[in-house]
């Protein structure tokens, strides 16, 4: 059985939770989300580098 989704775009969800693009709330969310992703990427790269160094 297939369920129809009422969600057409994730932007709609973000608009409802954080306001339209350009609003202070939305921009704050975007900055925090970007910082989170960059931190996770850096942590992953550091762990990969540590593994590579230890294996040699």
Q: Which residues contact 28 (CB under 8 A, 6 or more apart)?
A: 18
The pLDDT assigned to 27 comes to: 98
% of the chain exceeding 70 in pLDDT: 88
Residues 39, 17, 19, CA angle at the centre, nearest 5°?
95
What is the spatial distance between Cα 13 and Cα 41, in angstroms, rounded to a whole number? 25
Which residue ranges make up each domain of the chain? 10-54
pLDDT at 56 over 90: no
Render pLDDT for 4-26 as a digit per residue (tens, 0 to 9): 766 678 999 999 999 999 999 99
pLDDT at 28 over 90: yes
């Amino acid at each position: 059985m297939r369920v129809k989704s009422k969600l057409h775009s994730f932007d709609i969800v973000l608009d409802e939770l954080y306001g339209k693009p350009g609003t202070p709330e939305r921009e704050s969310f975007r900055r925090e989300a970007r910082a989170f992703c960059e931190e996770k990427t850096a942590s992953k790269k550091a762990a990969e580098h540590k593994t590579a160094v230890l294996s040699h």
